[in-house]
Amino acid sequence: MQILSAQVNETPFFRLSQSFKENLLFLFRFICDPLTMGSLFPSSKALATRMVVRMQPSIEPKRYLEVGPGTGAVTDSILQKMGPKDTLDIVELDPDLCRVLRKKYEACRNLKVYETSIENFESANYDGIVSSLPLNQFSVDFVETIFKKYLHMMKPNAFLSYYEYKYPKMVAALTERGKRLKKIQLLKSFYGEKHQEKIETVWKNFPPANVRFLQKNPVEIATA
Ligand SMILES: C[S@@+](CC[C@H](N)C(=O)[O-])C[C@H]1O[C@@H](n2cnc3c(N)ncnc32)[C@H](O)[C@@H]1O
């Protein structure tokens, strides 16, 4: 897609200073609210590229939703794969990040920023949802609410891609939080069994991450 505002000023120096500023802002937001941010740094290009691998070119206009865009690391990859008639809604909780996103993508006519928590966002009929929420930081009940909501918002056969960092599992057994992670893991596998699931590890990210893909099973629509 050609209307990425970041592309207007595409000198190498601009790109470098832009990504430095974004990393700094991300880190600052993490220090202010580590549980909501869930990570010290934005996703790497390698992780962002894997997250959008299910987006396919199509003649029909497609509707995409991104949840938890942060400073836009994955948004950039989504925009690169979108066709001219596709649209993207992005839902971000943090007002400072929303301000940055609105500025960064002000030239993108088919992108809308919604400043709210995903639990309060109402929309439907998405062809794909790309979620970067830090699920392992949330309670099991909240993860279940989010998954139900995602399935409700997806068209039959739509995809959901999301990631989780690999490191919490290594320390999981040692902590109370570990038990919660295990329960969340079980919950996610439950949805994975009902809807086709695939998992890929991306090592070129700090920390390395498992990217999970769900494809909504049309037969399960009534019970989702
Ligand atoms: C791990 S960061 C991911 C940022 C970015 N997508 C990336 O990969 O670099 C998680 C993002 O989710 C946002 N977030 C957390 N809880 C949220 C919620 N309930 N609704 C919407 N966004 C939320 C945070 O503000 C943060 O920007």
| Of the listed ranges 24-38, 56-70, 208-222, the one predicted with least confidence | 208-222
Characterize the bridge pairing of strands 209-215 and 154-165.
antiparallel
Q: What is the mean pLDDT of the chain?
A: 87
Query: What's the pTM value of the predicted model, to 2 decimals?
Result: 0.89
Q: Which atom of ligand 1 is nearest to the CA of 42?
A: 9
Q: What is the mean pLDDT of residues 114-140?
A: 95
Query: 167 or 70, which is more confident?
Result: 70
Task: Yes or no: say if 215 and 157 are a contact pair by the CB < 8 Å rule.
Answer: yes
Question: Ligand 1 pocket test: which of 35, 133, 165 has the largest number of ligand atoms within 8 Å of its C-beta?
Answer: 133
Whose CA is closest to atom 2 on ligand 1? Answer: 37
Residue 123's pLDDT is what? 97
Residue 173's pLDDT is what? 62
Q: How confident is the model at residue 13 (pLDDT cuts 50, 70, 90)?
A: low
Residue 117's pLDDT is what? 98
Q: Which domains does the chain have, with CATH numbers?
A: 42-215 (3.40.50.150)
115 C-beta neighbours (distance < 10 Å), count: 15
What digits encode the pLDDT tens for the residues 89-102? 999 999 999 999 99
